[in-house]
Chains A and B, each alone.
Chain A
Amino acid sequence: SQKIEQNSEALNIQEGKTATLTCNYTNYSPAYLQWYRQDPGRGPVFLLLIRENEKEKRKERLKVTFDTTLKQSLFHITASQPADSATYLCALETNDYKLSFGAGTTVTVRA
């Protein structure tokens, strides 16, 4: 069966450190992978999209890698700030053109 798995444990880090989140998938061959941020009581907000032929993508303090051999994406938040505290979701396009999401990883950045 198809699965998308993210870090099951919440991540608590000190301000200024780098947070690294993992997204693993099985039985998919996605053309691209997306990362979203979700704050409590709000809908997810798109952050980054990385295509299968791209190894790395950056946006400000965010970096995403995509390894189609390992079937894994890593999401990094560098120089983290308390405002980065949220749940981060990875999402893949499945065979029938819909986006499927992982359960998310909650990040808390301590001042």
Chain B
Amino acid sequence: DTGVSQDPRHKITKRGQNVTFRCDPISEHNRLYWYRQTLGQGPEFLTYFQNEAQLEKSRLLSDRFSAERPKGSFSTLEIQRTEQGDSAMYLCASSFDRNSPLHFGNGTRLTVT
């Protein structure tokens, strides 16, 4: 069990650019989640996958955000035409099933200038 890994750890980009983050979950975990966290707040749900199927996407998530989990393994989160308001920590988590605790990665910190 190597834990959940996220790449990159930090990303600085200019407004209007596209960015993509990667998450490698714990290998036997079926569920994968993306959360966003800003300073002083708890993680905010973005989307989750059961294997390769994306089962829910937050209503707060604009169409600029898209996530994939091909073959039910790693996942990518893409943000198109980044805005300064997208600056946050993007956290990935995985779990074995619905009733299991989440295992989080250490996040990707995005700064949009």
Interface stretch (choices A12-20, A37-45, A62-70, A75-83) = A37-45
- Min C-beta distance of A107 to chain B, whole Å: 15
A34: interface (CB < 8 Å): yes
Contacts of B99 in A (CB 8 A): 32
B41: interface (CB < 8 Å): yes
- Min C-beta distance of B61 to chain A, whole Å: 13
A89 touches B42 (CB 8 A): yes
Which among B48, B98, B103, B105 is the interface contact of A46 at CB below 8 angstroms?
B103
Which among A42, A46, A100, A104 is the interface contact of B45 at CB below 8 angstroms?
A100
B110: interface (CB < 8 Å): no
A43 touches B93 (CB 8 A): yes
Residue of B42, B45, B102 ringed by the most chain A CB atoms within 10 A: B42
Contacts of A91 in B (CB 8 A): 42
A43 touches B98 (CB 8 A): no
| Cα–Cα, bound, A34→B107 (Å) | 20
B67: interface (CB < 8 Å): no
| Cα–Cα, bound, A91→B102 (Å) | 10
B33: interface (CB < 8 Å): yes
A49: interface (CB < 8 Å): yes
Residue of B whose beta carbon sits closest to that of A47: B101
| Chain A positions near chain B (C-beta within 8 angstroms) | 4, 32, 34, 36, 41-46, 49, 89, 91, 93, 96-104
| Chain B positions near chain A (C-beta within 8 angstroms) | 4, 33, 35, 40-45, 48, 55-56, 91, 93, 98-99, 101-107, 109
When A and B form their complex, which 7 residue pairs have the shortest distance between CB atoms, in order from nearest? A43-B104, A101-B42, A46-B101, A103-B42, A101-B43, A43-B106, A98-B45
A-B contacts, 5 listed (Cβ < 8 Å): A34-B101, A43-B91, A44-B91, A46-B102, A99-B102
